[in-house]
Amino acid sequence: MADPFPRAGPLARLAELGFRLPHAPAPVAAHVPALRVGTRVITSGQLPLVDGSLAAIGRLGAEVTVAEAYALARVAAVNALAAVHAQARLDDVVRVVRVGGFVASAEGFTDQPAVVDGASHLLEQTFGERGRHVRSAVGVAWLPLGSPVEIELEVEVEVRA
């Protein structure tokens, strides 16, 4: 159970969880990792890339286990936070609003929530009460590069004077 009111800031919490915030992926010509509109910051769908590579490839119910994909969803969520951080400091996040979780699902796999929990738990562990969010978890056919999971994020940040 996460501390509902973490005393440390989100970057310190991530460090305690064993994550260093990576550099946000470089913007591609036509689309960007995250974007701020007023107090909303939304991210592109993020894959669980580490140093540019996927730790596992394949679908749930076939090549990848729930435990593996749970860990990958954590990594994708950290990458989404890195994209947010390039637009607004994580210390300024007042609320995680929404997680969209896409899980590559082979025949008969119906435990998408257990996979997307990797992202949800990471966000609650990082932000405490402010990390609670709405989410949709769906089982898609295939994802870019053969990734087992893709995570998109929306957060609310405070207005700076």
Question: Which of 68/152 has CB closer to a copy of itself?
Answer: 152
Question: Which of 141/161 has CB closer to a copy of itself?
Answer: 141
- Verify binding: residue 2, a copy of itself, rule CB under 8 A: yes
Interface with a copy of itself (CB under 8 A), residue from 24, 34, 73, 86: 34
Coil, helix or strand at residue 79: helix
Q: Which stretch binds a copy of itself (CB under 8 A): 6-14, 16-24, 68-76, 111-119?
A: 111-119
**Shortest distance in whole angstroms from residue 39 CB to a copy of itself:** 8
Q: Which amino acid is at 81?
A: L
- Cβ atoms of 73 and 137 within 8 Å: the answer is no
Name the helix (H) or strand (E) containing 158: none
Give, in order, the Cα–Cα distances in Å from 4 to each of 1, 66, 134, 138, 154.
8, 26, 17, 27, 20
Chain-centre distance of CA 144, in angstroms?
16
- Verify binding: residue 109, a copy of itself, rule CB under 8 A: yes
CA distance 58 to 35: 29
Residues between 37 and 76 that touch a copy of itself (CB under 8 A) = 37, 40, 42-45
Interface with a copy of itself (CB under 8 A), residue from 141, 159, 160, 161: 141
Question: Which of 91/113 has CB closer to a copy of itself?
Answer: 113
Q: Please report, to the nearest 10 degrees, the dihedral formed by the alpha carbons of residues 118, 30, 139, 151 taken in order.
A: 10
Residues that bind a copy of itself (CB under 8 A): 1-2, 27, 29-35, 37, 40, 42-45, 95, 97-100, 102, 104-106, 108-113, 117, 120-121, 123-124, 131-147, 150, 152, 156
